[in-house]
Amino acid sequence: MKTYFVLVKQKIQKKWYMIMTMKQSKIKPSDLRKYPMIMKRY
């Protein structure tokens, strides 16, 4: 059960990190489809 929570936490952190970097680099979610490489980094 503990490992499950760790995985969920990592997932949330990854998602949050992605949102933060998107805000910093001013990338719109629609642009992610144009640049699949951005998605692959995370």
pLDDT for 42: 44
Q: Which two tokens stand for residue 12?
A: 């949330």
pLDDT for 7: 80
pLDDT for 32: 60
Residues belonging to the chain? 42
pLDDT for 30: 65
pLDDT for 27: 63
- The parent domain of residue 34 ranges over 2-40
Total domains in the chain come to: 1
Whole-number CA gyration radius for the chain: 12
pLDDT tens digit at each of 42 positions of the chain: 678 888 888 887 888 777 777 677 666 666 666 666 555 554
Nearest to 22 by CA among 8, 38, 33: 38
